[in-house]
């Protein structure tokens, strides 16, 4: 190579350094998107990525964050705590993310958030509902969803007031999320004068629930409440039906908010009538109309946590823009003092990073394998 090439190269580097920019890359701000991108719960990871990317594209088209484009970095934790910590360390040390949308499973979010906290990275989870996520004094950990102790109250009250449950079996998947929510629902049932006739734990990945179905039958349960995710909820409700307990009502949580429930159950006939708790459907809000239409035009239905992830990216962008800084601590401080307009409406957070207003409601699945928000009971 000629000396002329070297001189031009060094000159370019010198000019770039003087301007404070890289000679090889345009300035940008990186947001991590972490969750189960593979494995049994990958449908939730897909919801996260679709929502986050759509929001990033819209924000970038309007000028980005403090003049910088948002670049998303995908992190697959497969809902495994150890893998989540590895993802968090990679995002902090290698990818140099400024903020994180994630994780999904509370058992992943809790340990990963310690890594982000130590690095001064702001994180907002669209779907982790265990109270411990925001109860550990981490200054830059937020949620776009409610908490289990709020969701459990809604589930328990609905079982007592609407479903008129007398003999309730409470099951869970032994995970931080599933058991935590089952315990919150159990506590509300007990408070309302209904002591569960069965309290039992399942194992994630298990498919044969014959033994627990037998226990449910022996206990004479009229309602089964399951705290957990769709890979176990689907086979469980199918086996209840197949083994003759067709009149036993089945209720679960926001861990089954995906069409994959129909697949894991073996068909829409098995999920027909299933109840679940989840935040008020953001697709019905006027703020989300244009975004929902765009998703649908592309052939994708923004179900479950899609708009939660979209709103989470909007929130991170607003926080960095508002703070006029690229530091997570500055963004977190701004976010606790200001409201953010999102695709899910205006959101505000308390000192812990929890939403000031939780909007859990009850949904029901139909014979076509679709879920619908039920009207709030007065």
User: What are the pLDDT digits (tens) for 291-331?
Assistant: 999 999 999 999 999 999 999 999 999 999 999 999 999 99
pTM, 2 dp: 0.88
Read off φ and ψ for residue 171, nearest 5 degrees. -120, 160
* CA distance linking residue 11 with residue 147, whole number of Å: 55
- Residue in this structure with the two tokens 């995970």, named with its chain if needed: 175
Are 349 and 335 in contact, with CB atoms under 8 Å apart?
yes
The predicted structure's pLDDT at residue 376? 63
Edge-to-edge strand list for the sheet holding 141-143: 69-76, 28-35, 99-101, 122-125, 141-143
The single-letter DSSP state of residue 65 is: B
Give the pair of three-digit tokens for residue 112. Answer: 């990963």
The predicted structure's pLDDT at residue 13? 41
Of 342, 340, 316, 338, give the one whose Cα is nearest residue 327.
316
Give the pair of three-digit tokens for residue 271. Answer: 């999920």
Low-confidence ranges of the chain (pLDDT < 50): 1-25, 378
Q: Where in the chain is the domain with CATH 3.40.50.2300?
A: 29-147+284-347, 149-278+360-373
CATH for 29-147+284-347, options being 3.40.50.2300, 3.40.190.10, 3.30.465.10, 3.90.79.10: 3.40.50.2300
CATH for 149-278+360-373, options being 3.40.50.2300, 2.70.70.10, 2.40.128.50, 3.30.365.10: 3.40.50.2300
Distances (CA, A) of 63 to 22, 59, 67: 19, 7, 6
Give the pair of three-digit tokens for residue 85. Answer: 């910590």
């Amino acid at each position: 190579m000629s000396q002329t090439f070297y001189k031009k190269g060094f000159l370019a580097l010198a000019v770039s350094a003087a301007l404070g920019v890289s000679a090889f890359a345009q300035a940008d701000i990186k947001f991590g998107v972490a969750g189960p991108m593979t494995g049994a719960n990958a449908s939730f990871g897909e919801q996260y990525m679709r929502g986050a990317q759509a929001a990033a594209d819209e924000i970038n088209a309007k000028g980005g964050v403090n003049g910088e484009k948002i670049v998303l970095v995908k992190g697959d934790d497969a809902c495994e705590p150890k893998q989540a910590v590895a993802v968090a360390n990679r995002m902090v040390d290698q990818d140099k993310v400024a903020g994180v949308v994630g994780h999904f499973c509370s058992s992943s979010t809790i340990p990963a958030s310690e890594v982000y906290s130590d690095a001064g990275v702001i994180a907002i989870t669209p779907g982790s509902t265990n109270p411990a996520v925001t109860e550990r004094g981490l200054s830059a950990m937020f949620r776009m969803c409610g908490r289990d102790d709020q969701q459990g109250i809604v589930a328990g009250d609905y079982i007592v007031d609407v479903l008129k449950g007398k003999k309730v079996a409470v099951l869970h998947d032994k995970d931080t999320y599933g058991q935590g929510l089952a315990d919150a629902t159990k506590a509300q049932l007990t408070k309302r004068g209904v002591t569960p006739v069965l309290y039992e734990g399942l194992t994630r990945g298990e498919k044969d629930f014959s033994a627990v179905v037998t226990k449910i039958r022996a206990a004479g349960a009229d309602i089964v409440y399951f705290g957990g995710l769709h890979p176990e909820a689907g086979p469980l409700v199918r086996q209840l039906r197949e083994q003759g307990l067709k009149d036993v009502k089945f209720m679960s949580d926001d861990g089954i908010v995906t069409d994959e429930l129909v697949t894991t159950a073996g068909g829409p006939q098995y999920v027909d009538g299933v109840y679940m708790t989840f935040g008020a459907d953001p697709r019905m809000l006027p703020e989300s109309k244009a975004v929902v239409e765009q998703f649908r035009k592309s052939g994708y239905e923004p179900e479950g946590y899609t708009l939660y992830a979209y709103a989470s990216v909007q929130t991170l962008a607003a926080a960095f823009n508002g703070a006029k800084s690229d530091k997570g601590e500055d963004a977190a401080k701004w976010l606790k003092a200001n409201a953010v307009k999102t695709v899910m409406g205006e959101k505000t957070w308390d000192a812990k990073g929890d939403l000031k207003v939780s909007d859990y409601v009850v949904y029901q699945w139909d014979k076509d394998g679709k879920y619908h928000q039920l009207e709030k009971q007065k």
